[in-house]
Structure formats: C-alpha cells, structure tokens
Amino acid sequence: MPDDTMPAATRPDPSVMRGVIPYLGLNGRAGEAAEFYAHAFGARDLGRFPDEQKPGRFMHVQIEINGGALMITDHGGCDGAPVPQPQGFHLQLVVADGDAWWSRAVAAGCVVEMPFERQFWGDRWGMLRDPFGLHWAINEPAA
C-alpha cells in the first residue's frame, strides 16, 4: 500500500485498495501486461515506478480492473531463481455484462479454456488464459 511519502498524484484511489490484492511477478513483462489488461479488461493505469537499475523494467505497476487493484512487478524469483509458472488459482471478474467482457478479452488475445455459458449454479461463467499464462474467469451472476 502506498505511504505518505508518495506524491498525492501517484497515490492510488483508496476505494480500490481493499480486500486481497493480487501482486503478480511477471519477470520483465509488467508493462506489457498492463497494456494488455487495458485492452482485454478495460484496466486503468494507476501508476508505474520504473526500475532505475534496469531500464525498461518496472519495480511496481498498479492498475485497476472492475473496481479492484492489481499490482504487477518485473521482478521474478528471489536471488535469480526462475519464476514459477502460475498454478492453482485464477483471477475472477464478477460483472453485469459478461458477454461484453468476454468478447473484449477474446478480441484482445485471451484464449478460451472453458466457454462462457450458463453453469449448474445458475451464473454465466467461463475461463480464459492470457498471454502471460494467467487464468481469468468472467462471472455474470444469475438475475
């Protein structure tokens, strides 16, 4: 979470700094991911802090998607260890217009893992994979 030493213009909106905030380590692809998420999920850029030791890389990127924060860094494994592939989780977006979110994400380049369709629990739901190997679910609650 940002502290009071950050200029007010770079502090994130406190309304998105709630609950659990995923922090992705994308080993050199943070800027690319933020741009992709803007196209695929309508992400809004909240701020970027470049890595002054490594031009073109970021210490921290923060975006907002669907009212919640997502943080990304170019740092990967500790002490040069390889970055493990994401596993055992997905990022879920609960939205009112699932078709619009789904279509935009697919058009941006997400790959369909499970079709967006009515599920046994009543919601419309589907799973996508982004170019960074992360899985995203679109969930449109039943009316």
Same domain, 65 and 101: no
CATH code at 134?
A: 3.30.720.110
Same domain, 57 and 35: yes
What is the number of structural domains in the chain? Answer: 2
Position 85 in a domain: no
Same domain, 28 and 65: yes
Same domain, 124 and 97: yes
Nearest to 13 by CA among 56, 85, 64: 64
pLDDT at 14: 76
pLDDT at 5: 44
pLDDT band at 27 (very low <50, low <70, confident <90, very high): confident
Question: 3-class DSSP state for residue 34?
Answer: helix
Position 45 in a domain: yes
Report whether 4 contacts 11 (CB < 8 A): no
* Residues 35-64: tens digit of each pLDDT: 999 999 999 999 999 999 889 999 999 999
Boundary-marking domain end, from 54, 77, 100? 77
If you search the block for the tokens 């997502």, which residue do you land on? 70
Position 69 in a domain: yes
* Residues 67-119: tens digit of each pLDDT: 999 999 998 655 566 666 777 899 999 999 999 999 999 999 999 999 999 99
Boundary-marking domain end, from 77, 106, 125? 77
pLDDT above 90 (res 4): no
pLDDT band at 10 (very low <50, low <70, confident <90, very high): low
pLDDT at 11: 63
Range of the domain at 73: 18-77
Position 72 in a domain: yes
Per-residue pLDDT, averaged over 120-142, amounts to 97
The residues near 102 (Cβ < 8 Å, ≥ 6 apart) are: 116, 126, 128, 138
CATH code at 37?
A: 3.30.720.120
Burial 60-98 (b: 16+ CB within 10 A, else e): bbbbbbeebbbbbbbbeeeeeeeeeebeeeebebbbeeb
Position 83 in a domain: no
For 40, phi then psi, to 5°, come to: -80, -40
pLDDT above 90 (res 124): yes
Rounded to two decimals, the pTM is 0.85
